[in-house]
Amino acid sequence: MISTLLSRLSRGTDGAPAPRLAYGADYNPEQWPREVWEEDVRLMREAGVNIVSVGIFSWARVQPAADVWDFGWLDDVMDLLHANGVGVDLATATASPPPWLTTAHPEILPVTDRGETLWPGARQHWRPTSPVFREHALRLVRELAARYAGHPALVAWHVSNELGCHNVYDYSDDAARAFRDWLRGRYATLDALNHAWGTAFWSQRYSDWEQILPPRLAASHPNPTQQLDFKRFSSDALKDHLRAEREILRELTPDIPVTTNFMVMPGIKGMNYADWAAEVDFVANDHYVVPGPRDRDELSFSANLTSGIAGGRPWFLMEHSTSAVNWQPVNLAKEPGELARDSLTHVAHGADAVCFFQWRQSAAGAEKYHSAMVPHTGADSDLFRAVTALGDTLRTLAPVAGSEREPAEVGILFDWESWWASEQDSHPTSLLDYHREALDWYSALLSLGIRADVVPTGADLGRHRVVIAPVLHLVTAELAKELTRYTEQGGHLVTTYFSGVVDENDHVWLGGYPGALRDLLGIRIEEFGPLPDGRTVEVEGVGSGALWTDRITVTAPGTEVLAHYGTGAQAGRPAVTRRATGGGSAAYVSTRLGADGLAALLPRLLEPAGVGSDLPAEVRGRVEATVRRGPGGRFLFLVNRTDETVAVPGLTGQVLTGGTGDEGAVVLAPRGVAVLRTTTG
């Protein structure tokens, strides 16, 4: 459906749809006088902008009182944008309820686990489960959809905004009621719930549904399955809100695709986007770089996972920043070249749209120091020149539009339920970080120049010769079967510490760890050996391990030990094992090796699958390569991860962007990106 959107944005000279990449931003004209809008559209044309998201925070403006509507200004904005060739991704405006609504209905305000109310004054101060909020929000959606159905500027719907950014966990009485309904749907009987929650423990047995509460602040660790179910429920409650808005939009504007902006980015964990993806007509994502030693890897990882969630199909980068944000402790400006490299890394991973928060930097409000496409300085600025240059580059990349990612031989499995379950409290260690472990593997592969797809559970594993499943903690009987089948059919599975340990109820698979994966891996662990913070152990021939160790006994013939512990309590015992299965293998890494240790180990793990790098040895680790393939051809993206010029020799193809050097080498400027068409469509 993203193709429908792209073709609405541009027509070829013959009037036929000529898809190109979309380029734009959140546009908040309500913050500016009318004369500024004229300059906005002129600059949008100059920058090559062809789409903007409008109305995201305009509820108070379009509905200034319960029964008063004011669409005149928005009509004007829509008409003006259309007249200037800019399509509109129109927001349903429900993200931030207006003061009149919260004053009349304070019962829509979210409540923390400590019983504190989150008051109005910022944004997203609504309970996902409030029937009163839902009624008012849906009324607004209906008014907007009815008014703009058929408007030529309208190319997509933008439901709410970053659902769950600030309000995913609400512990109010509305949430308690909805949680009970959700639990009834999941378990049907109290007996089943009591079993799943293990309520024989600590006298927690429920004898009436009304006794059940969200996991509010308690005297000690709340029931772990209650916590896990509350996470599932909270993600589902927002998904339900998304669906409710979407149904109205589909009813009134059946031809307009509907999306909402996900947040596959650092620090956001509450929404199971793998589960949400089927609810939208195309996947859209927001991503902000959190500066740090691995921020390059993280950006690529998030973009890659977004592509995985989108099933490898093109997706929409709804927000990122041209330079600094306003919400980190210190907000760093981007260096020259970073704006384009960040954007094009997303495109390399399947984005068909590059959009920013926001078009014009605000003069007032909490985000006035957040960068934008038009900065406070105005259009006569290096930043706006970089924005315009990126618009030109995106135009030259028009043939890429619509192409999908070419599956990589390696897949990294990313599983929201394991993320949630593995990091709960009262565990062997509180230092485990699911996302960091997954990123370690990804970084190691990047440093070796090996392409990998990050895919959610449920994706077709058979597309990858190797599947790496870091900390796959929660494994259902079906998933265990699927992984076994995968290795029997020739696939090579690699998993790590604390995997296979619990089922969907967070009950331990008994008989020895790694529980559900014990037979497949051919090992048995009687006791975990987590390490104190800062303590490491030697893993012979590999590096040092941190965080975790296991006391492993090899149980199945055909299981080899790839590396032993050299020091610590497990010295001399297996640290890394691999069992040969019918044609494939199942390997286990029992400690946190970090990106460097994993880079040392990976060649041995990948060897039976015959997987290696496609890049010339001298650029591995310095250049990231991705491949997209579609009607316009096969495209090789080369992203320079360094601040120096890098020449990539031995490539053939048409260079769409990036330089050419001696003997046809593709020359990447510092932080530069090149795109080659290696075959035509």
298-337: which residues touch ligand GAL (CB under 6 A)?
319, 325
Q: Which of 376, 377, 374 is nearest to 47 (CA)?
A: 374
Residue 443 lies near ligand GAL (rule: CB under 6 A):
no
Residue 162 lies near ligand GAL (rule: CB under 6 A):
yes
Residues 6+ apart with CB under 8 A from 282: 1, 2, 5, 156, 257, 259, 310, 313, 314, 315, 316
Q: Output 21 or 325, the one with its CB closest to ligand GAL.
A: 325
Q: Output 161 or 495, the one with its CB closest to ligand GAL.
A: 161
Residue 161 lies near ligand GAL (rule: CB under 6 A):
yes
Q: Output 372 or 444, the one with its CB closest to ligand GAL.
A: 372
Q: Output 118 or 480, the one with its CB closest to ligand GAL.
A: 118
DSSP-derived pairing of the beta strands 654-657 and 673-680:
antiparallel
Residue 182 lies near ligand GAL (rule: CB under 6 A):
no
Angle among Cα 253, 100, 67 to the nearest 5 degrees reads 50
519-578: which residues touch ligand GAL (CB under 6 A)?
none
User: Out of 126, 187, 288, 359, which residue is the one contacting ligand GAL (CB under 6 A)?
Assistant: 288
Name the minimum Å distance from CB 22 to ligand GAL: 17
Q: Output 370 or 573, the one with its CB closest to ligand GAL.
A: 370
Binding-residue total with ligand GAL (CB under 6 A): 10
Question: What angle do the packed helices 382-396 and 34-47 form, to 10 degrees?
Answer: 50
The DSSP-derived string for 154-213 is EEEEE-SSSTTTTTS---SHHHHHHHHHHHHHHHSSHHHHHHHTTTTGGG---SSGGG--
347-376: which residues touch ligand GAL (CB under 6 A)?
357, 367, 370
Beta pairing partners, 410:
452, 466
Region from 159-167, 413-421, 517-525, 527-535 binding ligand GAL, contact rule CB under 6 A: 159-167
Catalytic machinery residues:
162, 319
d(CA 581, CA 668): 43
Name the minimum Å distance from CB 79 to ligand GAL: 24
Residue 342 lies near ligand GAL (rule: CB under 6 A):
no
Name the minimum Å distance from CB 161 to ligand GAL: 5
Contact status, residue 92 vs residue 144, Cβ threshold 8 Å: yes
Region from 74-82, 98-106, 112-120, 160-168 binding ligand GAL, contact rule CB under 6 A: 160-168
Q: Please report, for residues 327, 618, 637, 651, 668, the alpha-carbon distance to residue 655 in angstroms, rounded to integers and kept in the order given.
A: 38, 20, 10, 10, 11
Name the minimum Å distance from CB 371 to ligand GAL: 9
Name the minimum Å distance from CB 595 to ligand GAL: 27
Q: Which of 452, 405, 473 is nearest to 609 (CA)?
A: 452
Question: Is the peptide bond prior to 532 cis by the omega test (within 30 degrees of 0)?
Answer: no
Name the minimum Å distance from CB 406 to ligand GAL: 31
Rg for the chain, CA atoms, rounded: 26
Q: Output 260 or 457, the one with its CB closest to ligand GAL.
A: 260
The DSSP-derived string for 449-484 is T--EEEEETTS-GGG-SEEEETT--B--HHHHHHHH
Residue 165 lies near ligand GAL (rule: CB under 6 A):
yes
H or E element: which one contains 650?
Answer: none
Q: Output 1 or 165, the one with its CB closest to ligand GAL.
A: 165
d(CA 168, CA 237): 9
Region from 83-91, 157-165, 497-505, 567-575 binding ligand GAL, contact rule CB under 6 A: 157-165
Residue 179 lies near ligand GAL (rule: CB under 6 A):
no
3-state secondary structure of 230: helix
Interface ranges with ligand GAL (CB under 6 A): 161-162, 165, 286, 288, 319, 325, 357, 367, 370
